[in-house]
Chains A and B, each alone.
Chain A
């Protein structure tokens, strides 16, 4: 619990973070930035879990543990995504979204 901060304020923050992530995913032109937007979404979720656990159901630790697992899996996901992006970069020497349009329609 943080003194003087209610759950509504924190949940508003995470919701804003979440939608910034969604917006970034659809508008960024660089694959790495797209990946960063996804990280924003995941981090919003982690805060959500921890805060809901702490403020609403403090008797069990389910939410906090879920948060730890999300962080771990997100790291694996990012590593794999970067590996694949580097693999693409080797062939087209670009990480721009506009250059990945061989497969279309």
Chain B
């Protein structure tokens, strides 16, 4: 191993340097200038994101534990862009709430540690690295959920998150140990060859799936989602629903299409049931929510169900449509969360009825919300339509017509509750609407990036073609 091979781990190295720089900043920047840390962190992370787009080699390190190729680089870049937008949107909240309480640097360090864990999880070449990455990405987020240390809701959400996360990872580990017994190795490459469809390996796989199902909040493992999102600070809820879910989908995609490929008959049946359950439960519970954070939690559960449509196909088309959908989902969900956060920062209101008559006072924010929700629901000018369309195509081309039909029914239900929010904003009147307010530069930049993303990804087809060409690396 030489110095140049460390450059293969460029994403991880840079992020680690960034974390260390922030610790140094926390020590050396005097107290009354602490707010400059926010600018520093966003600036450094912007550089990190830009450097990530440089082309990379296909390589493995540490005897196969760590591997990287063009597809894994794309995954990391997608996550980077998401985190950058998230930081831009939450800059105000950090400056107002955290810097005064001297917790600003901790927030960044925990957030970046979690992102570092996701990098390792995605790049893992064996189950040991995967497990460490999974824990490193989950534990800091649990600390972040309980970050409003003075609020009862936040602590309660933190307890629920850490206990369910620990249970999920424990069950997942038991599954990995059974898979180890069935194949005799923990390396993905070796396991993919020696995996056979026996009762032991299927039991191991089912238990293992629980851990990732928890992170993606699929139906039998979704109970924590709504509670944690409601109690957590909005930037953290946004991180959980967008970045954390995206990373888990990516590694699940890699594992299902390589290591678990021999068990495809078993997991297709399993995913069939889970997909229907997840979509239906997410949508039906979203109908009755009045708190925006809870509402978005159930909406994100429903969206996770749609992702399974591509997974169940098990083809290259399925893989590329999942990556494409997650990319769009990150932008659309960040747009919606951004608007909710902007309103909550200025007024502290999170209830749906508070949004009545919002369009008359703040037309720009309402239009961004409209675009984000249309993209989540899948209405044509927004990119979300194309994402869902490709997922349906992938599932239908493998003959899952009934599943696609049920998904379309679910989209119709979801359109109803997305429109409830828009009705409150555009049609309903209110004697005391939220007054006009002007957002800071960071927030406006963050929202503008999501709007560009939603419009550009849908219209500009080379993005999908690139993803499609790169997803052949899976097979």
Contacts and interface: CB of A to CB of B under 8 A. Distances in A.
A69 B132 CA distance: 8
A48 B179 CA distance: 11
Contact of A81 (B149, B163, B227): B163
Given A18-B174, A103-B231, A69 B184 contact: no
A5 interface: no
B127 A38 contact: no
B158 A62 contact: no
B127 A66 contact: yes
A62 B180 contact: yes
A84 B143 contact: yes
Contacts of A22: 167, 171
A87 B163 contact: no
B174 A100 contact: no
B180 A81 contact: no
B140 to A, nearest CB: 9
Contacts of A23: none
Nearest to A67: B177
A88 B157 CA distance: 10
B170 A41 contact: yes
B156 A48 contact: no
Nearest to B140: A80
Given A103-B153, A103-B230, A73 B135 contact: yes
Given A41-B174, A100-B159, A84 B131 contact: no
B143 A41 contact: no
A18 B146 CA distance: 28
Nearest to A63: B180
Interface residues of B, number: 39
A31 interface: yes
Interface of chain B, helix or strand or loop or mixed? helix
B184 A31 contact: no
B62 to A, nearest CB: 13
Interface of chain A, helix or strand or loop or mixed? helix
Nearest to A60: B185
A49 B156 contact: no
Contacts of A84: 142-143, 146, 155, 158-159, 162
Interface string A7-37: 0000000000010011001000001001100
A81 B180 CA distance: 28
Nearest to B174: A45
A40 B386 CA distance: 46
B125 to A, nearest CB: 13
Given A56-B184, A84-B142, A91-B152, A31 B163 contact: yes
Contact of A87 (B153, B155, B166, B181): B155
B158 A87 contact: yes
A80 B156 contact: no
Given A84-B155, A103-B156, A103-B230, A56 B174 contact: no
A65 to B, nearest CB: 7
B230 to A, nearest CB: 5
A70 B173 contact: yes
B160 A100 contact: yes
A62 B446 CA distance: 45
B403 interface: no
Contacts of B153: 102-103
A90 to B, nearest CB: 8
Nearest to A7: B181
B177 A41 contact: no
20 contacts: A25-B167, A31-B159, A35-B163, A35-B166, A45-B173, A45-B177, A52-B180, A63-B177, A63-B180, A63-B186, A65-B128, A66-B128, A69-B128, A70-B173, A73-B131, A80-B143, A81-B166, A84-B146, A84-B155, A87-B155
